[in-house]
Amino acid sequence: MDRFRKQRARMLETQVKARGITDARVLKAMETVPRHLFIDEGLINQAYNDSPLPIGGNQTISQPYIVALMTQALELKGKERVLEIGTGSGYQTAILAELADKVFSIERIAALASQSRKILDRFNYYNVAIMVGDGSYGWREEAPFDAIITTAAAPDVPRYLVEQLAVGGRLVIPTGDRDVQTLYKLTRLSENLNDIKKEDLGGCRFVSLIGESGWKE
Ligand code: SAM
């Protein structure tokens, strides 16, 4: 019996549905995945708060609403190949694994990647592959992707990620300066890399993407 089930239901009502998230599959995935098991035991009672939380290495697990907003924007129906940049705690990865066919996730901090691998294996998310490295370059061998999500903020949209997006695919990414950014949804409309529809999903604050298309540490 999951003693946090009620807290998860309340989180969905007050933080996620109340702010306009309607995708039934996203809501179901967030009802299913035990967010409290993806964070340090010492913070377990804050797991369903309306805020990000520290996960070590100066990184954070994103606020539940932001996870919902980004995931809904990816428009996953179940057959997609998804690329995630910034595995972090593995929570967003688990949500993606519930909603898509295959998830490829890149994390630059090896300790976070191995911790995530353990928890994802514990819940039998065998449709997830995790790589340690700089996600700015994407994952060329596994491209194209139907959806790409970047959970760290970049100054601009990394060119490699647009190249690795399938025609019709969605890329959700925060871009801006180091302190404050805008969350964007890009849809690739044709083979032409400039033929992109760009939608503003609102203001946000993410940790920095560190690497080739991001900032220096
Ligand atoms: N989605 C995560 C979760 O549910 O816990 C939260 C991720 S956290 C906001 C952003 C993550 O991006 C951090 O774990 C950070 O180490 C990682 N990161 C930053 N730059 C990166 C890069 N160039 N490649 C891969 N991961 C990167």
10-residue averages of pLDDT along the chain (217 residues): 88 98 98 97 96 95 98 98 98 98 98 98 97 98 98 97 98 97 98 97 97 93
pLDDT (0 to 100) of residue 133: 98
Q: Which two tokens stand for residue 38?
A: 């993806």
pLDDT (0 to 100) of residue 16: 98
11 lines ligand 1 (CB under 6 A): no
Atom of ligand 1 nearest to the CA of 92: 4
62 catalytic? Reply is yes
Counting runs of H as helices and runs of E as strands, what totals does the chain give?
Answer: 6, 9
Q: How far is the CA of 21 from the centre of ligand 1 (A)?
A: 23
172 lines ligand 1 (CB under 6 A): no
pLDDT (0 to 100) of residue 7: 96
Q: How far is the CA of 107 from the centre of ligand 1 (A)?
A: 6
**Domain 64-204 belongs to what topology?**
Rossmann fold (3.40.50)
pLDDT (0 to 100) of residue 2: 77
pTM listed for this prediction? 0.98
pLDDT (0 to 100) of residue 85: 98
Catalytic residue among 62, 105, 116, 213: 62
pLDDT (0 to 100) of residue 6: 95
pLDDT (0 to 100) of residue 102: 98
- Are the C-beta atoms of residues 110 and 132 closer than 8 Å to each other? yes
pLDDT (0 to 100) of residue 131: 98
pLDDT (0 to 100) of residue 137: 98
d(CA 68, CA 138): 23
Map out the domains of the chain as residue ranges: 64-204
CA distances from 72 to 13, 95, 140 (A): 16, 11, 25
In 3D space, the residue among 179, 162, 163 whose CA is nearest the CA of residue 171 turns out to be: 162
